[in-house]
Structure 1
Amino acid sequence: MSGALLLTPTRRLAAACLKDFDASMQEAQRQAWEMPKIQGLQDWCIQYWQHLEVSGYTDCYLMTAQESLLLMEEIIQKSSYADRLLKPHTTAKLVLSAWNTLHYWCESKQIEASCENVDQEAFQDFCKHYRHHLSQFKLIDQAQLLDHIMQHYCENDESVTQAFYIRHLICYGFDDITPQFSKFLKLIESKSCILDIDSPTTITPDSLSRIVCEDVQDEIKRAAAWAKEKLLSKKPGEKISKIGIVLPNLPAYREQVVQAFDAIFDTESQISPIAKISPEYNISTAIPLTQYPCIQICFSLLRMLKFEFSVADLSLVLNSAYIKDSIKHQDMYQAIKSKVADSYQDKLTLEQWISVCQKYSDANPLLEVIMALKSLATHQKRQKISNWSRYFEKVLNLWDWPGERALNSIEHQAVNRFYKFLDEFCQLDMVFGNVTYSDALDKFQKFASNIAFQPENQGAPIQILGILEASGLIFDELWLMNLHHENWPPKAEPNPFLPLALQKQAFMPHASPQREYEFSKKITDKLLTSATHIICSYPLLHDNNPVYPSELISHLAVAEDHTIQRIDQRIEQISNHAENIEYIDDYFQSIPLSLNAQNKESIKGGSQIFEYQAQCPFKAFAKFRLKANNSEPQTLGVNPKIRGIIIHECLQKFWEQVKSQQALIALSDNLAPFLEGIISQVIAVQKRKISYTEVLWQLEKMRVKGMLLDIMAIEKTRPSFQISAVESFHSIQVGELHINIRIDRIDALENEQYLLIDYKTSNMHIKNIVDVPLRSPQLPLYLMSEHTFVSNGVAWFVVGKEENGLLGISAQDLDIEGIVPVSELNISTTWETQLQVWHNELNRLSQEYVDGYLTLKPINGIQTCRLCDLSSFCRIQDKMQAEKMYG
């Protein structure tokens, strides 16, 4: 009807109504038509408020939902309850949800009511300060917006509100009208407004059935194949069908949905990740703006203006393609990143970064940027958030963000949204006063993390939606997923900050199972009459537990065999197409190693070549022949590698001075101070190499001292021994490989027996040196070296967090706990036979390495891969994923 206003509960439904109206005008062959007034309720309210602001009828500022959340979080953090909360941000969301619900249900007086528990007391305290802040700075939030509009409507005549005066209102597609909105409807009706409450036209489906799937992953894959089949079955000239796929808890399954649909609609995405917007399907659920890589780099760049910033942020920046000269100076950036990672384990300053860059002659362009940043960092006094917004923009401009590379469509939209967000951030001046750089950056990041962003793709024929987003829309084909009894209707989740009795009595959202059932039934009945052809599905398993169809769809007939067969055939066709992709099989690749027979220099890597070759041949090939080294992982404390070095050096210095068990026992009274002196010497050397706080170094001293005292207690209980050598270097020949090894310690025992010892800070097992194929070649390699004596055994001295001790194998019983004579290993062999087995295994590993045998074959399967740092380089994870997906 001309002049009427049509309001919908969501922006998506409003857009669909506009699109349908335009289509009907085109079908009627109209050349021009008046644009109807169709808006989402929230959009109309905001537009009305902007009219009041421009016209001078109000001097209040309307906060966005993100601004309200930041304000509530700041109030919570300053409250007396802050020290009891682990997650203030999550608490703020719950508190604001309770505040909004009370206003939408016209129960705001409950904020002043008596409390039943400490949660409600805290809620009242938060709301009291929140309300005071709104009043003091003339602010209103989204929950209060409709109340203020009603107040203005009552206080002014038609001439004042003429631009937004409603003569005919149509409420379309509302499943749940809140008491606040109901009050508004009564008000405008009293002002002689014609009011219509309308629902979308119902469709009697031609087919309505249900399908059972193995699990959610199978369900998603089948839905994707079904959608693909529907698109391909369209005849030439036929109108493209509107296809809907609806998932109640879509955000939780978003990643699985993306993977499945990418695999079905673009098989090549398995080997080249999609960086474009699919023209065929659109997923309604957005992800936080901060999760897009180009935006993540922004915050890493801004965090580097703090007094100290993390090595992780620096590595992320220098690895990215979103900064100045990232392509031109890639090698230099990587060299600096590696140097910083080696020198600083956790944090560094701009000054320290400058000192690293000055060691590289080609780092002048980077130095210019850093010096400009350093100059900018001197102007970080407290100021308005709008000033900080311009400051952030200057930092990003110095880095030439988002870089010189052409952006793809998704990146381009994300960058545009970020610049719009920079302008929105300026508006926080109305909410907060002057703040420091750290506070501004913290608010900036939290604000951005609450902005859900999805690249535009309105024209896609397949729409993947959540339940509430799909309500009111009309489709040609519809698939409703994951409708099992554990998931639909959803479980009740009353807000802990509101009295439960109030929530149940007022029928508030998620208050009770009855409320959830009735609301879910209303939504389900509407969806089951919103398409010509409808399939409902549910999995047999959820979290490895059997589930059953929801009672809301249990009455539906099981889908006919030919429907299921078409879906299975489409999946099979896609799988067959995927098999046509050429996969390079690495299992028999061979690149021989060139060795100079006349000048066989020692190959760098030593015993680690054999260790990695035993773990996985590809790892040895990548580490030692391709020089594929990853940066050290970032840790909160002292890096595990540094801890191992400290323990080794402390034990080396100790036994260089204390050369026997007898001397150790004689030290008993002075052992602790003696160890403290050695630990201080070792850590003093490490301090000059690595930047840690003094607190961390003191904690490390205490830890190492405790471990060394435990080790010495074990050493005192052993049979008598003397130290023959520590950190003993040897050159050995294994097959064609000539390598250097270093034996941590050699003990001379009684009766001219000798024991070779290697320190280990990780758990070991005797099977690692007994089983074939050999898992841990280091101890057998010790026995290949030449000595003036015959070794009677080899052992690890395990230096662990909880348990220390010797673990090894010997020719005869040495009467040492943890060292097992070969005769007791149940392998039916002698010491000489075992030596020959080791000799053969080491020669095999040597020959494989020389021949360039680089198969992806981890010895312990996925367990070996978990401990490997080449996951970004090795393709075995992709291979496993492909095998899992395509069988």
Structure 2
Amino acid sequence: MKSAYLPIIDLLVEKTLIVTPNLRLQDCLRFVSQEQEVVEEPAIYAWSSWCDLLWNELEILSLGWGEELPLVLNNAQEQALWETVIGGLEEDVSKTSTLVKLAMTANRRLHEWQLAIEEIKNYPMQYDAERFLNWQAELVRRMQLNHWLFHCERWDVLNTVVSEKKLAICYETIVFVGFDTFTPQQLAWIRQLLELGITSYSIFEAESTNTAHGPQLIVTNEPRDEFYLAAEWAEQLTRQYPEKTIGIVVPDLTEQRARIEQVFNDVFAPLSHLPGSPYSLRKVNISGGFRLDGQPLVQIITDLLTLFIGKTPELLLWQRLLQSPFIRASEAEQFARLAVLNHLVEQRQATISVQYVLKLLDQYEALDLSAALKSASYWMKEHYQKRYPPEHWAIVISRLLLIMGWPGERVLNSEEYQIATKLWPEVLDECVSLSGFCKPLTFLEMIAHLKQSLFSKVTQTRSDITQVYVFGLLEASGQKFDALWVTGLYDGLWPAPADLHPLLPARLQVDYDMPHNSPERELQLTERLFKRLLGAAEQVVISLPTCIGELELRPSALIEHLAMPSCDEYLSPRRVSFRESLLGASLESLLDEQGSKLAPGAEVSGGTQVIRSQLSCPFQAYGLFRLNARGPEPIREGLLLSDQGTLLHAVLDRVWQRIQNSNQLKQLTDESCHRLVTEVVRGVIGSWQKKLKGVAQTQWQLEEQRLIDLVIAWLTMEKLRELDFDVVGIETRRTLSLAGFSFQLRIDRVDDTEVGALLWDYKSSDSAKMAHWFNQPMQEPQLPLYALTQDVSSSASRQLAGFGFAKVLAEGGKFNALITEKELDLGLGVGEHSVKSLDYFKEKSADCWPEQLQYWQETFERTAANFGQGQAQVLPSEQACQYCELKPLCRIQERSQ
């Protein structure tokens, strides 16, 4: 990169200024100029930095003149002023925050394009544009009355004082480097410089260089794959050519920054995420800002404030707080706080009071956090219901954070340190500056202003010159590299769609060539940027994903003609694994697939789930039923899907305890059936409400109606069965001996009919299939297992006729049954029922029912023996990992490494 900028640095002589469009290019040029020792203090400034410098000079000069410059409003002050004006002129203030943001951008655009209100009124306007002009007129009146100035108006004031020779520009030549376009405000300033005899011109060095080999196009499945490929390509180049500089362009970098940082950390510094790790992303410089409101260090601040707004905190808030490393004694009390969190999750309450959490903290001996919360509660109790000026609230909030030990006790990384020491104080200062712009605030109003400032504050990261640079699209314009990778070249992003501002007349935006005013403008701008990127390095790689989620993407028209090589060209033949990075050497593999054996004759807890897991994956069965390993309970408000299935089973069980057979069912009128089901449902829900106190009453009401509708529809379908039946078993338990071990089984329902016994397993989804019983390995073994006990049970009133799934579905209930003899008629009546015999599965099944039972018996005996022997291989079937909670334990993802 240094050599690429030398032609520009050669222009930097005494009394010459170089101006860049962004801080990133400013830093690059300053670094190269210092390396070359061109001048002692290089005059290189970004456009915004130059304005700050000139305005500071003007403020100093104005003290000597005895004149007072207007107060330049910061972002928070301007927002508050717009809110006051819009709130006073509009009847519906529910969308004020959205209107404020639009109004601020529209006002800034008018100043940059040097447009007066009189010029705007000449254009046909819609209602929204007329409203904006009314707001702006009132705002300008207040600004003039109070001697205030918009931040974007500073250049206009500077232009005036320079023309009046009150402020001198001490340069003979000013070079604008990397500017793709100039606003009318910038052009007016440049004209002023020319009138003063200062030579001004713009250069774009990238246009003079062509790629040596032509750009290459790579297509990936999704953006994540694209970013990983770019990172691996860059990592390979840094190892092969340590002197080269590599650029990677991500058009939507601000939105993608978190993902980009994760990907490059995985590739360049895989150990950086470990607690206390000395490793960092030293080779990579990621440009683009990060929003403060999305940072964990800031999220914990808003969580702590939300604790004391007078409402019961939500469970998710407690989850973040109890797991946060940014409060007092987070490491010393880590396990105690996790125990408290697990207790809260098991309660499954949507909201939990501070008092209840304090009780649990004392119970689990998390005493430091308990003491801090008690002190914070006492402190906030004195203040949160009062009205204070913003500066007083700043003191209250700072004291609260001090009590809670923010920002924690561990060493902060560079970004966290910047937030804690610089950015968060700036946000507080912004809010304090509102004192002259608003009345005393309530605590909730102060929190709202803080959140607005956090949301609008995008921090531009600046770091040392390194080897790999990740840029946004506009920041990359004008940069020079040895190798460049440009991502996201799909239609819809290159070029971007036209996006007219909703508060400005459409015709005005087109006539004055404002940003995003037409597809033609976006295409021309994109073509210029693309041309410069192609000339920014000797080697240029261009990539795009084929889809984002379920959305299919098309290549941009700019790259349709490019060749498409294999992705393997850009990857090294072998990457260092995480284990090798961890220890600095290759590891010896040790295959450990054998666990401890069970004692002969032991009773195995877990029933059919043990056999099911052993068939799906031996390690899963060993982990769940020998090690008792479990994943963390999911944090969800209200009822889980598993809860809804359990409720449905409980209701059906109680209903059949009351009805007992088909004759009683058919004697029920519609009214009496509805009354019976409603009574049963309310009884079941009443017992569950005592266990799940956190579920909202509205959700219970919806669940009650869902269950009533489902069960009534199911009973209506069962009335159509042509064969009489008696429900002789509900949640019937049996013991089955396999390989010398005892397994406790339970079947949902057993019907006795004239053709034999029928075993039913309730399902609330349509995913279970009869074919699963004949797959290798078997899925859903519960019914075949129970069939073995039914066939040999002396208590069975009739021989087994079949078994299957009783699917209670919202779209209509149905039976899926496997019968023991082809000629059997189960009399299920009309509907979407499915009845199959072994002949239907003849390619996978035995020839007759006794042989099939014998085959299943041998399969289950062998499976149980393997479980008893402690076999624990990580050999998952196709569907085994889908809902498995033991992935961190078996680490199957590392198999690909």
Distance 1:226 1:334, change over 3 A: closer
Which of residues 177, 186, 194 is equivalent to 2:191? Answer: 186
Give how far 1:721 is off.
2.3
Preserved CA contact (<8 Å) 1:756 1:795: yes
In the TM superposition, what is the alpha-carbon distance from 1:814 to its structure 2 partner? 1.5
**Does 2:723 correspond to 1:717?**
no
Q: Does 1:490 align with 2:495?
A: yes
User: Is contact 2:248–2:486 with CA below 8 Å preserved after alignment?
Assistant: yes
Give the distance between the partners of 1:488 and 1:808, measured in 2 at CA. 53
Equivalent residue in structure 2 for 1:57, among 68, 72, 78: 68
Distance 1:365 1:495, change over 3 A: same
> Residues 696-737 of structure 1, C-alpha deviation per residue, up to 9 Å, x if partnerless?
222222222222222221222223222323233333333354
The equivalent residue for 1:419 is: 424
Aligned partners of 2:807 and 2:815 also within 8 Å: yes
Aligned to 1:792: 801
Q: Deviations over 1:607-659 (max 9, x none)?
A: 33233334443333333333332344344553223322322222233222332
1:832 matched to 2:832? The reply is no
State the SS of the aligned residue for 2:816: strand
Q: Distance in 1 between matches of 2:141 and 2:878?
A: 62
Q: Deviations over 1:210-245 (max 9, x none)?
A: 23233157876676566556545669xxxx454434
Map of 2:45 onto structure 1: 39
SS across alignment from 2:45: strand
Q: Is 1:502 matched with 2:508?
A: yes
Q: Could you tell me which residue of structure 2 aligns to residue 849 of structure 1?
A: 867
Query: Equivalences for 1:425-574 in 2 at 5 Å?
Result: 425-427=430-432, 429-430=434-435, 432-453=438-459, 456-475=462-481, 477-479=482-484, 481-482=486-487, 486=491, 490-497=495-502, 498-524=504-530, 526=532, 534-539=538-543, 542-543=546-547, 547=555, 550=558, 571-574=571-574
| Paired residues for 1:101-500 under 5 Å | 101-107=109-115, 109=117, 112=121, 116-117=125-126, 120=129, 140-150=149-159, 158=165, 161-162=166-167, 168=172, 170-173=174-177, 174-187=179-192, 192=196, 194-199=198-203, 205=209, 208-215=212-219, 227-228=234-235, 231-232=238-239, 240-251=243-254, 258=261, 261-262=264-265, 265-266=268-269, 276-306=279-309, 307-357=311-361, 360=363, 362-378=365-381, 379-381=383-385, 382-427=387-432, 429-430=434-435, 432-453=438-459, 456-475=462-481, 477-479=482-484, 481-482=486-487, 486=491, 490-497=495-502, 498-500=504-506
Amino acid of the structure 2 residue aligned with 1:287: F
Q: CA deviation at 1:486?
A: 3.9
Q: Determine if contact 2:788/2:853 at 8 Å carries over to the other structure.
A: no
Cα offset for 1:89? 7.0
Match of 1:771 in 2: 775
CA distance in 1, matches of 2:424, 2:29: 31
Residue type of the alignment partner of 2:516: H
What amino acid maps onto 1:644 in structure 2? G
Gap regions ≥5 residues in structure 1: 27-32, 883-887
Partner of 2:10: none
Q: Distance in 1 between matches of 2:80 and 2:625?
A: 51
Q: Which residue does the alignment assign to 1:30?
A: none
Q: Give the partner amino acid of 2:712.
A: L
Contact 1:822-1:830 within 8 A present in 2 as well:
no
1:745 aligned partner, one-letter code: R
* Contact 2:71/2:147 (<8 A) preserved: yes
> 1:815 is matched with which residue?
827
Mapped to 1, the partners of 2:324 and 2:409 lie a distance apart of 11
Q: Deviations over 1:468-497 (max 9, x none)?
A: 21333444x142525958478624423241
Paired residue type of 2:716: A
Per-residue CA distance 1:228-275 (angstroms, 9 max, x = gap): 56545669xxxx454434454545665675566556545778999988
Which residue number corresponds to residue 802 of structure 1?
A: 811
Which residue of structure 2 aligns with residue 660 of structure 1? 661
TM-score normalized by the length of structure 1: 0.82
Aligned counterpart, 2:643? 642
Q: Normalising by the residue count of structure 2, what TM-score does the alignment of the two structures yield?
A: 0.81
* 1:560-587 deviation digits (Å, cap 9, x = unpaired): xxxx99x96773344377897768989x
Q: Deviations over 1:15-34 (max 9, x none)?
A: 233333323327xxxxxx65
Other-structure match for 1:742: 746
Whether 1:651 aligns to 2:640 is: no
Give SS of 2:189's match: helix
Moved more, 93-102 or 223-232: 223-232
Identity of aligned residues (%): 22
Report the 3-state secondary structure (helix = DSSP H, G, I; strand = E; otherwise coil) of the residue aligned with 1:511.
Answer: coil
Distance of aligned partners of 1:24 and 1:494 in 2 relative to their CA distance in 1, 3 Å threshold: same
Whether the aligned pair in 2 keeps the contact of 1:199 and 1:472 (CA below 8 Å) is no
CA–CA separation in structure 2 for the residues paired with 1:93 and 1:667: 64
Q: Which moved more, 1:658-667 or 1:136-145?
A: 136-145
* Equivalences for residues 56-95 of structure 1 within 5 A: 57-64=68-75
SS of the residue corresponding to residue 631 of structure 2 reads coil
Q: Distance in 2 between matches of 1:465 and 1:647?
A: 54
Q: 1:732 is paired with a residue of what secondary structure?
A: strand
- What is the CA–CA distance in structure 2 between the aligned matches of 1:840 and 1:440, rounded to whole Å? 71
Cα 1:142–1:334 change in 2 (3 A) is same
Call closer, same or farther: CA 1:224–1:734 in 2, change over 3 Å: same
How far has the Cα of 1:337 moved from its partner?
A: 1.2
Answer whether contact 2:427 2:453 (CA < 8 A) is retained: no
Aligned-pair distance for 1:765?
1.9
1:591 to 576, 591, 594: 594
Which shows bigger deviation, 636-645 or 428-437? 428-437
SS at match of 1:209: coil
DSSP-derived class of the 2:643 partner:
helix
For 2:744 and 2:84, the matched residues in 1 are separated by 60
Say if 1:115 and 1:128 are closer, same or farther in 2 by CA, change over 3 A: farther
**Quick one: which amino acid aligns to residue 424 of structure 2?**
Y
CA shift at 1:90, angstroms?
A: 7.2
Query: Is the CA contact (8 Å cut-off) linking 1:488 and 1:550 kept in structure 2?
Result: no
Distance 1:842 1:123 in 2: 76
- Displacement after TM superposition at 1:69 (Å): 6.4
Aligned residue in 1 for 2:689: 687
SS in 2 for 1:406: coil
Q: Distance in 2 between matches of 1:685 and 1:34?
A: 81
Q: Which residue does the alignment assign to 2:629?
A: 628
The number of aligned residues is 843
